[in-house]
Chain A
Amino acid sequence: MKAGKQSFYVDNPVYIRSAYTIVGPKEGESNFDGCFDLVLKNDLWGEKSFEKAESKMHREAIRGAVCLAGLNFDEIDMMLAGDLLNEISASSLAMRYFQVPFVGLYNACSTFSESILLGSALIDAGCARTVTCSTSSHFASAERQYRYPLELGNQRTPTSQWTVTGAGCTVLTANRPTREEDKRARESFEEKLTAMRTENMSNGVCGSEKEQEKGSEEANGKKIKHSNISEGAAKSAKTPFSFRKKEDDRVAPQCDKFYERTRLAKITGGTFGKVVDLGIEDESNMGGAMAPAAADTFFAHLEDTKSSPSDYDAIFTGDLGRFGKEAFEYILSKEGIKLCGTYTDCGASYFKPEQKTFQGGSGAGCVNTVFNGYILKKLENGTLRKVLVLATGALLNKDTPLQKETIPGISHAFVVETEDF
């Protein structure tokens, strides 16, 4: 149902059935250590190029999420996916492996929330029963496409952000899952994933034998990872992760596949954002370019839904970075809104200070992996009840800054609430 100018409510419930995330090694050591389903040891993942690796991550994330949901691919009605590469090639190449209708999306780093919004709208309208929403980004491929070759010895400016190497997939469905179904799906996950790989291979669709070996290797690695999970959590609990010693940036990562799910997350609405450009020219300061768009969507959301920031347990922006977060708060303060304690920026809180990423994480995989890996788990174990996620994107390519264009930003917001499982 349409609400106000830019927003909508979902009339029929749209449940988040499962989520799966794959991240690179650097992200595995970040503040969200222990939240992800699969951490790669090498971000090339046995492929010949970083683009191929990104595509593989995308593919495996979708496969993982579908397996975790206990579904088969013929039960998926539609796949919404996007990434940052030219002509969203990572998603399109990944989709070769699935016999499912594919809708390609691009809204830079806010593609994830765009896909969630469209997925919920499709399910709400009855056009689909089950959809997957996935995005990916890869540091090395993004660096080469938007910036400089990896080996070039230049200094990144202090306003720059680090593209997150990560892919994640969320399965949205109209069918309310039961506890038993969920438990069964999670228990048979490993088995099903292996079976699915083999099946694809016998069809001649998917890679070589070598790949299977690698896949099983990774699966073993993951098992080890899970058995070490308490140790990892203890280790990370010792490290004080605070940026500029602010309390609200803290996250406590400790999740595995069998985490206790007492609540069921569902998408209840959202706001589509406008393109906002306040004239920022510096392409290495994307946080500054995106903050006005995030604020614009935020205001529109509050106005359309007649809510106030205190209605939400937590508000997350996508990848504004530390400076972008400051700018976002500045714009809000100009309008007389103050977010105290409930506001976090996924990008700014992603990496530890010693990981030297200056402003923090960015990229289509940033908000995706944080939502699927961290926020969703917090929702499902009841820590958070109602959350607003504003993913943000800077709409530029390599040529527009050279043609003296300013950088427009965009932001889409979606609301997640929970109910008893």
Chain B
Amino acid sequence: MEYFLTYLKVFAVGGAICCLGQLLINKTKMSSARILVTFMLLGVILEVSGAFSYLKEFASAGVTVPIVGFGSNLAKGALEGASEEGLLGAVKGGMSAVSAGLTSVIVFGFVFALLFKSKSKKI
């Protein structure tokens, strides 16, 4: 039951974020890159304002899987770096916090691009 409730919360919050994104797409005809940037910056703002940790506690993967989580990681890393190492930490903190994700995206992209070719589509 507890599991079910967690997953329900994850589903609802994650779905709501995506739904908001779709609303933006429908209303403003934004391209996918603009949508991703908007939501990442939203994550940065949520992290700085401190709201993100509450959301994360409530819906864990519901907010960390959307790109909002990526933004919050960036901001969190930068803030931690700033408090621990000063200016240098402020500069490199954000990148080091998301380095695993970024590296894996680049590596997987490279490997798959060597193995696969794009296919034409019919819909």
Contacts and interface: CB of A to CB of B under 8 A. Distances in A.
B123 A139 contact: no
B109 to A, nearest CB: 11
A356 to B, nearest CB: 5
A333 to B, nearest CB: 28
A207 interface: no
B29 A284 contact: yes
Contacts of A152: 32
A282 B28 CA distance: 11
B29 A282 contact: yes
Contact of A150 (B25, B29, B32, B118): B118
B120 interface: yes
B120 to A, nearest CB: 4
Nearest to A152: B32
Contact of A44 (B31, B120, B122, B123): B120
A129 B118 CA distance: 44
Interface string A1-31: 0000000000000000000000011100000
Interface in B106-123: 118-123
Contacts of A356: 123
Contacts of A43: 120
Contacts of B121: 150
Interface in B32-61: 32
A140 interface: yes
Given A154-B31, A157-B29, A139 B118 contact: no
Contacts of B118: 140, 149-151
Contacts of B119: 150-151
Interface of B: 25, 29, 31-32, 118-123
Given A26-B122, A153-B32, A154-B32, 17 more contacts: A25-B122, A50-B120, A139-B120, A140-B118, A140-B120, A148-B32, A149-B118, A150-B118, A150-B121, A151-B118, A155-B25, A165-B120, A282-B29, A284-B29, A355-B122, A355-B123, A356-B123
